[in-house]
Amino acid sequence: MPTNPFRKQIPDTMVETNNKNIEITFWGTRGTLPVSGKPFARTGGSTNCIEVTCGDHTIIIDAGTGIRELGSKLVANKPKQKTHLLLTHAHYDHVEGIPFFAPFFMEDNDINIVCGNLDGARNTKELIKNLMKPPYFPVGPEVFMANIQYNTIEENAVFNISDDIRIITAPLNHPGGSTAYRIEYSGKSYTCITDTEHVVGKQDENVLKLIDNTDLFSYDCSLLDAEMDDFQGYGHSTFEEGMRLANTAGAKAMLASHHMPFRNDDDLDHIEKAMAKQNPEFKVAREGMKIIL
């Protein structure tokens, strides 16, 4: 029987939390492609991956390169579990870690993969098969040993993954499609809004509804308002728009995420200072950051 080639024992450094808390851990906050080197060390260089723990349930949003280390942590500490992987979309920086996610190679693991309808794939299962095939990858998802369910959701789907965890979704303005997720648990909420392009001067009603009075949301802050003209049609937004949306919707806290590869630590420090002038609860998401709601 094949063994898991990606398993690595990593001690759990997570803080113990009350079962009624939502705990959010950022394993990757970069967009487009990973980066490395001293100029990026404080923010991290891995691409998009967020772990959300609600009681005994593990929810993962996106599977960029950050999911590899998360997977190693999961199998080291809890080899048999049920995991929910929510994909916003299938651009490389959100799925490139899928073949290296250790729980896929663990028998008796139950993994539920969820994604919305995307251009170029009929359903979520086809999406994963297309990602892992020659000439792009040597083996297909048939090498996975876990029990995997593939679910394709419609626009604005609302579903429960347990009696007390509700997921609310909304479509975003991104080439090929993208889905935003709001996770509600124990009277609290965390919302992930990534890969969306705002229309200058017109706030996105889908986003406003999803972040209404949310305890925390992370937002696609790839660009600056001053850069929008140069990136029309790329499907990304700005930290300034994120703050405007937060103020309109009454969101309690915001994290700027999906950092462009040309944005170094000093650049992001500057953005964070600009955000803090308006609200000290507006910050930059960095790899390794843990937040408890």
pLDDT of residue 78: 75
Query: For the segment 267-288, what is each residue's pLDDT rounded down to a tens digit?
Result: 999 999 999 999 999 999 999 9
- 129-136 CB contacts, 8 Å cutoff, 24+ apart: 131/90, 131/95, 131/98, 131/99, 132/98, 132/99
Closest-CA residue to 64 (of 269, 261, 263): 261
Strand pairing report for 49-54 and 22-28: antiparallel
| C-alpha 288: how far from chain center | 13
Whether the predicted model's global pTM rises above the 0.85 cut: yes
Do 27 and 59 meet the contact criterion of CB atoms below 8 Å apart?
Answer: no
Query: Using one digit for the tens of pLDDT, what is the confidence trace for 54-89?
Result: 999 999 999 999 999 999 999 998 767 789 999 999
pLDDT value at 127 more than 50 = yes
Residue extents of the structural domains in the chain: 22-292
Domain 22-292 has CATH 3.60.15.10: yes
Per-residue pLDDT reduced to its tens digit, 217-254 = 999 999 999 999 999 999 999 999 999 999 999 999 99
